[in-house]
A and B are shown apart, each in its own frame.
Chain A
Amino acid sequence: MNKTVYVRLKHRIQAKPNERITLNKIAKIIADEALISKMGDQIIHQIQSKDKTYVVIDVINVIEKIQSIDPSLDVQPVGPTQTIVEIQNHRKKFAPVLFFLVWLLLFVGSALTIMNFHEDVSMQRMHRNLYQFFTGNKIDKPLILQIPYSIGLGLGMVLFFNHVFKKKFNEEPSPLEVEIFNYQMDLDQYIAINENKESVKNDDD
């Protein structure tokens, strides 16, 4: 019988409160058929209420568990060295009122900041000069420049975040999606180190 076991932990999984996390759930295993069926249902962790939101399972605990079945097994870890288990205690309900308030905040906030910006860089005066430069006439409100400018302002933002033309141009992720991904990775890295019992020595342990 082949004694080598390849274990690849998943980066992040979601679990319900009080769920028993089995080896099958957090890892992909390549080994002898008989071994897989024996190991797959091994419980790696029992989620308790003191776990709160996140539990990090280190690969070393998984190796320990596998070798407790048969100490002669050669366990080869591949990929991430820990799995982040996100416990869905109370699923955040989408609150329309909260959403509307945030929407209004962003709307009013961005409207006022663009006005501040215009005043700050003396855009009105600059538009008047621009109008004079092109036409030779002097007018107080060069709206023929300013209205297309305002529409272009929104268009430029949409273009940057690439939501309208997503399918048309290419399937590359928009900067926003990349940014959210990076932020999630940073959070995960923080959790992986700070919630991991194997890498942080807690005083209360």
Chain B
Amino acid sequence: MIKWFMLLFTGFAEGLAVGCGFVAFLSVLGIIPRLMQLTKTIKWIRLYEWAVILGAVSGGWFSLSPVYLHASHYWFIPIGLLYGIFVGMLAAALTEVLNVFPILAKRIGIDDKIVMLMMAIVLGKICGSLFHWLYFAGL
């Protein structure tokens, strides 16, 4: 009985810590404010919060339970795209937090070519990712 209670408590504490960390990480990177700014939908901030919470909870649940949906694999095209956009925004936010571009542009004196530098990173990410999945992962 005590064993069960301890397991319950440990699991709950673990989930609490991971959940807090996840939300804190998202907040620091400011992806949600950025998306709201782009789409001008700040009034729906509550619903966006719920999207993140429900996404995390259902992802956690499905990854732990042995359920199969038996759906068509074409669903992966939109899912993969959304998945990539999210990770891409994370990567971009991380680059921005680290102040890479302003310092680089200042150092080599190319303030007006910053878009091209950004495209280097974007194309690098796409090519690196494709290379990884198409060749590297099979080695």
> Which A residues contact B (CB, under 8 angstroms)?
92, 94-95, 98-99, 102-104, 106-115, 118, 124, 129, 131-137, 140-163, 165, 169-170, 172, 175-176, 179-180, 182-184, 187
Contact = CB atoms under 8 A, between A and B. Distances in A.
Interface string B53-92: 0000000001100011111111111111111111111111
A91 B70 CA distance: 64
B69 A134 contact: yes
Interface residues of B, number: 72
B103 A102 contact: no
B50 interface: no
Given A109-B124, A150-B84, A154-B123, A131 B89 contact: no
Contact of B129 (A109, A129, A137, A150): A150
B83 A149 contact: yes
Contacts of A143: 133-134
B38 A162 contact: yes
Contact of A132 (B34, B68, B83, B116): B68
Given A92-B109, A131-B76, A157-B92, A176 B114 contact: yes
A15 to B, nearest CB: 18
B127 A153 contact: no
Contacts of A131: 73, 76
Residue picked from A107, A129, A146, A154, most chain B C-beta under 10 Å:
A154
Contacts of B89: 156-157, 159-160
Contacts of B78: 148
B110 A183 contact: no
B41 to A, nearest CB: 11
B108 interface: yes
A153 B68 contact: no
A184 B114 CA distance: 15
Interface string B25-40: 0000011001001111
A120 to B, nearest CB: 12
Contacts of B8: none
B71 A152 contact: no
Given A111-B128, A155-B85, A180-B101, A134 B120 contact: no
B104 interface: yes
A129 B137 CA distance: 15
Given A144-B77, A145-B76, A153 B91 contact: yes
Contacts of B62: 133
B138 interface: yes
A174 B83 CA distance: 23
A170 B130 CA distance: 32
Contacts of A148: 76-81, 83-84
A134 B75 contact: yes
